[in-house]
Structure 1
Amino acid sequence: MAKKAATDKAKDESWGKTIRDIAVILLLVLGIHSFIAKPFYIPSDSMMPVLLSGDRLIVSKYPYGWSYASVSFHLAPKFAGRLFGKLPERGDIVVLEHPVTREDYIKRVIGLPGDTIEVKAGALSINGKPVKREVQPMLSIPVDANTPSGDGSLSRNVVPGADGQPVLEVPIVRETLPGGATFDTIDLGASQLDDYGPYKVPADHLFLMGDNRDGSADSRAPLEAKGLGGAVPFDAIAGRAEIISFSTDGTAKWYNPLSWFQALRSGRAGTDLRPERQANIN
């Protein structure tokens, strides 16, 4: 009888240790995700041409300090304030919680607190000064199961390539923001988002836009259109996009490990997502 009791006690202790170990691992993962870095998946074309649907990113949590939005899986109740808060720079790509739905969004910081933002015929101005725009050659991107994504904003730009295979051809405009951040945007021509403002960014808020200017539900778009409805509170920023870890073309099957490798896009892994910065741009 004593032997059976000892065996049962050992089993209980074993189960208890297993549960404790699992809890520690979960807390460790949550802590890393919330305070250091986490992976992020791009599901749409709103940040093309820099980011493609199917890209996997590393998002760092510490550059701007921590707020309720830093906690992964949207577990934290909303509260005001930010620990060790530091404003992003114009041009940074940030992940944020939508201020109403709490869904994850990824956009680029365009306006800082106090800035006046205006868009006329697709041309951006900050504080009354037009942002430098340089038209680039058309960009051709191979079409695959992820590109263009299912939102349809770029489908009409799919054309046959030189080898007969479909490619996505998009017009590129390179912008240089005050402070020197330089990056490429897509400008498809006239759209509902081409005229906006003037709009003054409130204190402790940021004005965010997608690089695919005609296909991004960002600060220009109203809440009812799944946009951000203006500038978002700084507290809603969860982290900064740093690097592409890997990218897939949408053909991978979960039950076929070989397809995981076949679906990898070459040349995407390791892409730095911090914008180039020119000196003496005000």
Structure 2
Amino acid sequence: MAEEAKTGNAVWETIKTIVYALLIAGVFRTILFQPFWIPSGSMKPTLLIGDFLFVNKMSYGYSYASCPSLIIPSVGLNVDAEDLCGWMQSDENTRIWGGDPERGDVIVFRHPVSGRDYIKRLIGLPGDRIQVRDGQIILNGAPVQQEPDGVFTEVAEPQGSQGLRPRCENGPVGFGGDCEKSRMIETLPNGVSYEVLNIGNQAADNTGIYTVPEGHYFFMGDNRDNSSDSRVPQSAGGVGYVPYEDLIGRADRILFSSAGRSMLFFWTWRGNRFFKAVN
């Protein structure tokens, strides 16, 4: 009987340890940082497919969107942040201990319609007037500075776990060839500079004037011709204006990066991107 009691106690202690570990991990992910893999090329060259980073959730305070979504289609798991923390939503579009994002921040947010996590650069603040002409942002009537910065080159081959092929300005490019895009340095009025890419003339390179509503934000991808962002309204399948409460956090630093289909393919690791700051 004594041996059975010891075995029972050991099992119970193991269960408690697992529960405690899950609770700690849940608190860590909900309050402090959320892991995020870059699945697409919409933020190249700032973020590449296969970059792994933690999103700083303390940057802008907390809302229902701060709760993690647990989506694993292979096992039928689909628990949304709204399912866990929908009680925090309100018509007032507010946050707890809320902080204001700055123009140029790279931010993870919930798509206002689909609820999926997106990562883009913040271009427009509430009240801003934004237009794109010939690929250049016109912010509150003034062109945002752009300077040519050579060519961004990558291999024309499947990238990441989804096997996505890059789009090329010099395309079509055969498998293994050099895929090129024009690169420019864009500088916002507050002095934030970053690289943007151009593939060619697209419909989103020339837009009407957007006026960002109060309590909302306007986002764009750095890979301008390969990004679904605020230039396309939600009614047409785009991101549109993003409410303040849908912000999740700021991307500050890349921790790990792999160019392969799996992080286990160590020969595809990009060591030069480990611990790289996100600008």
TM-score by length of 2: 0.85
Equivalent position amino acid for 2:210 in 1: Y
Q: In 2 relative to 1, CA 105–251 (structure 1 residues): closer, same or farther, beyond 3 Å?
A: closer
Partner of 1:49: 45
User: How far, CA to CA, are the matches of 1:251 and 1:47 in structure 2?
Assistant: 19
User: How far, CA to CA, are the matches of 1:60 and 1:143 in structure 2?
Assistant: 33
Q: CA deviation at 1:155?
A: 4.7
Query: Could you tell me whether the CA contact under 8 Å between 2:158 and 2:166 is conserved in 1?
Result: no
Match of 2:256 among 246, 250, 271: 246
Q: In 2 relative to 1, CA 152–160 (structure 1 residues): closer, same or farther, beyond 3 Å?
A: closer
1:126-205 matches, within 5 Å, as 126-146=139-159, 154-155=167-168, 157=170, 166-205=177-216
User: How far, CA to CA, are the matches of 1:152 and 1:191 in structure 2?
Assistant: 18
Larger radius of gyration: 1
Partner of 1:76: 85
Alpha-carbon deviations, 1:133-183, whole Å to 9, x = none? 112211222445317x7555615646879xx95222110121111111101
Q: In 2 relative to 1, CA 207–44 (structure 1 residues): closer, same or farther, beyond 3 Å?
A: same
Query: Could you tell me whether the CA contact under 8 Å between 1:93 and 1:240 is conserved in 2?
Result: yes
Equivalent position amino acid for 1:20 in 2: K
Equivalent position amino acid for 1:194 in 2: D
Structure 1: segments with no counterpart, 5+ residues: 254-258, 276-282
Match of 2:225 among 209, 214, 233: 214
Q: CA deviation at 1:46?
A: 0.5
Paired residues in the alignment total 262
Alpha-carbon deviations, 1:39-90, whole Å to 9, x = none? 2101111001111111111211101111111112223226132111111111
Query: Could you tell me whether the CA contact under 8 Å between 2:169 and 2:198 is conserved in 1?
Result: no
Query: Could you tell me whether the CA contact under 8 Å between 2:156 and 2:173 is conserved in 1?
Result: no
Query: Could you tell me whether the CA contact under 8 Å between 2:41 and 2:48 is conserved in 1?
Result: yes
Q: In 2 relative to 1, CA 224–203 (structure 1 residues): closer, same or farther, beyond 3 Å?
A: closer
Q: CA deviation at 1:189?
A: 2.5
User: How far, CA to CA, are the matches of 2:169 and 2:137 in structure 1?
Assistant: 25
Alpha-carbon deviations, 1:7-61, whole Å to 9, x = none? 5555444333322221111111111111111221011110011111111112111
Query: Could you tell me whether the CA contact under 8 Å between 2:61 and 2:96 is conserved in 1?
Result: yes
Partner of 1:256: none
Equivalent position amino acid for 1:19 in 2: I
Secondary structure in 2 aligned to 1:197? coil
What is the alpha-carbon root mean square deviation over aligned residues?
2.5
Match of 2:61 among 58, 62, 65: 65
Is 1:31 the counterpart of 2:27? The answer is yes
